[in-house]
A = this chain, B = another copy of it.
């Protein structure tokens, strides 16, 4: 095997005595997280329903390459006021001919109506959108379903991270604790003005840098990018205030955003069930890398460094 200059994700089928001799003090290398995921049995994978997906088609890039971004919506009971609005906006084809309006390096990509601030030119929203107050950012009083899965390192605020149906959920201490979905790389949330209830869901953002933990509980988490993240993260950065583009020509046009159930031949995605033994092994291996590249295990892992594995299903639905 020709050794490549790997930083990580090394797959080593068998450690040879010669390789071990280079690092005699180390225990034998163990499997990598990617190997645990690859070996997970079929029953450990859960299919994501098509109506839980949002499909954003950007205009093709300069080389003519199609750019499709697939987003999984956050499951009930979190953020459902906004998620309901997003379904209405997608069903109304409201986002067609809108645009990516802001790319702030290390922070977020944002999209919506470029004229939203201009009352004379702003695109009319569909009727029936709900207004949700800041109380909607968290579920309180035991309103959450039971959380489970492996325990991770606590968030920098005093909350535990557990899982629900493939999603990392933060949970405060207490008998009927408040719970909320957390921001990670690729998380999608609802842009808003100063009043905390100002966000309808028409303006959305995706995280393209370090998890902005300070946004948790201050803004609605509504989804996560599960395919095509690179089409957002590699966009040119904006040079206006907080990364807004300064000219219309800089914006990337959005051709359409649809619910997955409206998109023919979309394919199917699955997540590794967060209750499965394979997921527990994966998180443990992410926290304590002992595959061949590593000389020292971290002994812990942040929720955003152990993303829930998601794959395209092998057969189409």
**Is A43 interfacial (CB 8 A cutoff)?**
no
CA distance A241 to B3 in the complex (A): 12
Interface on chain A toward B: helix, strand, loop, or mixed SS? loop
B194 touches A292 (CB 8 A): yes
* Contact partner, A9, options B9, B10, B218, B242, Cβ 8 Å: B242
Expressed in whole angstroms, the minimum distance between the Cβ of A182 and any Cβ of chain B is 11
Expressed in whole angstroms, the minimum distance between the Cβ of A169 and any Cβ of chain B is 16
Determine the chain B residues whose CB is within 8 A of the CB of A22 once the complex forms: 194-195
Determine the chain B residues whose CB is within 8 A of the CB of A184 once the complex forms: 210
* Contact partner, A233, options B19, B105, B192, B215, Cβ 8 Å: B105
CA distance A22 to B218 in the complex (A): 15
**Is A125 interfacial (CB 8 A cutoff)?**
no
Counted per complex, copies of this chain come to: 2
Determine the chain B residues whose CB is within 8 A of the CB of A9 once the complex forms: 242
Expressed in whole angstroms, the minimum distance between the Cβ of A156 and any Cβ of chain B is 3
**Is A87 interfacial (CB 8 A cutoff)?**
no
Determine the chain B residues whose CB is within 8 A of the CB of A196 once the complex forms: 23, 295
Q: Which B-chain residue is minimally distant from A5 (CB atoms)?
A: B191
Determine the chain B residues whose CB is within 8 A of the CB of A296 once the complex forms: 137, 217-218
* Contact partner, A117, options B2, B157, B234, Cβ 8 Å: B2
Q: List 21 A-B contacts (CB under 8 A).
A: A5-B110, A5-B116, A5-B117, A7-B110, A8-B214, A105-B230, A155-B298, A156-B299, A156-B302, A158-B299, A184-B210, A194-B293, A208-B233, A210-B305, A213-B298, A214-B286, A217-B298, A218-B294, A230-B236, A234-B234, A234-B236
* Contact partner, A7, options B242, B293, B294, B295, Cβ 8 Å: B242
Determine the chain B residues whose CB is within 8 A of the CB of A137 once the complex forms: 295-296
